[in-house]
Amino acid sequence: MGAAVNYLMTWGGAGPCTGPRVGNFAASPSTLLRYPRVMSDEMRRILPNLITVVRLVMATAFFAIIALALSPTSAEGRQWWGNAAFILFIAAALSDILDGYLARKWGVVTDFGRVMDPFVDKVLVLGAFVYLASPKFAEPEWSRAFGIEPEPGAINCATGVASWMVVAVLARELLVTSLRGVLEARGIAFAADWSGKVKMFAQSAAIPTALFIAVNPGCLASPNYRMAQMLSVWTMTAITVWSAVPYSIRGIALLRSISKDAR
């Protein structure tokens, strides 16, 4: 971890006139010093990126805990590990808000953060959906392990997440990432817009909702909770697919403008 901190501190070097650099960003003294000196300027520069790295560690721990919840064990063990994973996911999602807020507030947005922050988000979200669509959550076996007999015609996965939903989420991310890669390779910024933020919020709400209901017998046996679970998952899927439309329209328009300028 010490090496990682040193790397984050020295990423990009320093300039004699512009002040210390982080990535391609030159942190001006006026930007950093107008806030109370609760911590050193160096810590302000590295803290948002350090939170991003910690979130990647939390994502790895989340996957390991979900795997324990899915392992052949007692219903009590599944509930305990499942709730631990639920808490850890919420902490990771909140850290995503925190690192972005600090980077913007302190004026230390870096190349490292621009690359790693969305990468870690995708690892956490896509990995979570892969696990939530696991056959280990298949009904009626999952509910019966808790002593619950599902109603006839109930959804075939205790989390409500179907495999095709994972494919839809992954396809959207690949499309937007591909567009961003092509455009930024040509020197055109393709930052996230409001639809991407709505999508991320919907995903960050649906994942813990689906997981919490699946691992707690009182919720699992309640038709109302199962309905809420289904609505959150389906709403998330619809928003995720829809969010690709504004990105596609904007990306295609930018590519066309490049083609016209090249003529």
- Give residue 215's pLDDT: 95
Position 28 pLDDT exceeds 60: no
Strand order in the sheet with 14-15: 14-15, 19-22, 25-26
Position 20 pLDDT exceeds 70: no
Query: How confident is the model over 111-122, as pLDDT tens digits?
Result: 888 889 999 999
Q: Is 72 exposed, middle or buried (0-12, 13-18, 19+ CB in 10 A)?
A: exposed
Query: How confident is the model over 147-200, as pLDDT tens digits?
Result: 888 776 556 899 999 999 999 999 999 999 999 889 988 888 888 889 999 999
Position 8 pLDDT exceeds 50: no
DSSP 8-state assignment for residue 157: B
Q: Which residues of 175-201 are buried (b: 16+ CB within 10 A; e: fewer)?
A: ebeebbeebeeeeeebebeebbeebbe
The H or E element spanning position 15 is strand 14-15
Q: How far apart are CA 122 and CA 137, in angstroms?
A: 22
Q: What is the pTM of this model?
A: 0.81
pLDDT band, very low/low/confident/very high, at 6 (cuts 50, 70, 90): low
Secondary structure of residue 13 in the 3-state scheme:
coil
- Give residue 19's pLDDT: 45
Query: How confident is the model over 214-254, as pLDDT tens digits?
Result: 999 999 999 999 999 999 999 999 999 999 999 999 999 99
Is the CB of residue 210 less than 8 Å from the CB of residue 232?
Answer: yes
